[in-house]
Structure 1
Amino acid sequence: MKLFNVFFLSAALLGAAAVQADEVIKETPDNSAGALYGGLSGVLIGGAAGGPLGALVGAGIGLFAGEGAQQVSGLSQRAYVVKTAQGEEATVRSPNAQFRAGDQVTRKAGRLHASH
């Protein structure tokens, strides 16, 4: 019976930490999709041109080129810098939802949702 009480108390305390809302500090551009596709293209092109070493070099060049291309084309997505209840800052991608600085949000499955 004591083991059940310890388990219940632990689950309650862990669940309470997840309920606390985070606060949006600012919006920042996110170009990770362009970096991903640029890096993958660079691996293929570099691998075909120079073997394994060429694939590594191509991935690095493609990563920065893809990120830059997405930014220059104006297709950057949204990410937000949020301050957690513990005082830490984290950047979270949120391409579909839109928030303003000071909004209270919660993180579920790597995305931001408005707190109620």
Structure 2
Amino acid sequence: MKAIRTLVLTITLAGSGALQADQIVAEVPDNTGGAVAGSLTGLLLGGAAGGPIGALVGAGAGFFAGGSVQQSAGLSGNGYLVQGDDGAQYQVRSPAAEFSVGQQVERDGIRVRAVEGAVLADGR
């Protein structure tokens, strides 16, 4: 009898991970590429114009300007706001995969991937 209880408990705990998957809450623009390109450009131009201090100031200004330029040009990448099973929210980039709001995902390093067999909040 103890073996059956242990088996039931093990199966229940193993299956509960799929029920506690993270969920896509919203789509957000990802402008990381523009920010990096702007930082590098600002670093080089600032360094040429003002030496080491100019390089730091240029990199900082380029970071903000590059992200803004990418967003205003309509070239933002895919980014998502994800809510974890503990209620905490975090933002992820997804240059290759697209997700829907309400889709169940699981964290795989710095990326997320869709949970197999999960049903969307709207029933799809």
* TM-score (ref. length: structure 1): 0.80
Q: Indicate how the Cα distance of structure 1 residues 18 and 58 shifts in structure 2: closer, same or farther if over 3 A, else same.
A: farther
Q: What value does the CA root-mean-square deviation take over the aligned residues? A: 2.1
Q: Indicate how the Cα distance of structure 1 residues 54 and 16 shifts in structure 2: closer, same or farther if over 3 A, else same.
A: farther
- Describe the SS at the equivalent of 2:106: strand
- Describe the SS at the equivalent of 2:107: strand
Q: Indicate how the Cα distance of structure 1 residues 68 and 17 shifts in structure 2: closer, same or farther if over 3 A, else same.
A: farther
1:29 aligns with 2:29: yes
Q: Deviations over 1:54-86 (max 9, x none)?
A: 011101111111111111111100111001011
CA separation in 1, counterparts of 2:15 and 2:92?
A: 21
How far residue 17 of structure 1 moved from its aligned partner, in angstroms, is: 9.6
Q: Indicate how the Cα distance of structure 1 residues 104 and 41 shifts in structure 2: closer, same or farther if over 3 A, else same.
A: same
Residue type matched to 1:52 in 2? P
- Describe the SS at the equivalent of 1:99: coil
Q: Indicate how the Cα distance of structure 1 residues 108 and 17 shifts in structure 2: closer, same or farther if over 3 A, else same.
A: farther
1:67 aligns with 2:67: yes
Aligned to 2:56: 56
Residue type matched to 2:61 in 1? I
How far residue 109 of structure 1 moved from its aligned partner, in angstroms, is: 2.6
* TM-score (ref. length: structure 2): 0.76
Aligned to 2:92: 92
Preserved contact between residue 97 and residue 112 of structure 1 (Cα < 8 Å): no
Residue type matched to 1:93 in 2? R
Task: Say how many residue pairs are matched.
Answer: 103
Between structure 1 and structure 2, the one with the greater Rg is 2
CA separation in 2, counterparts of 1:17 and 1:64?
A: 42
Q: Indicate how the Cα distance of structure 1 residues 57 and 103 shifts in structure 2: closer, same or farther if over 3 A, else same.
A: same
Instruction: List gaps (5 residues or longer) in structure 1.
Output: 1-12
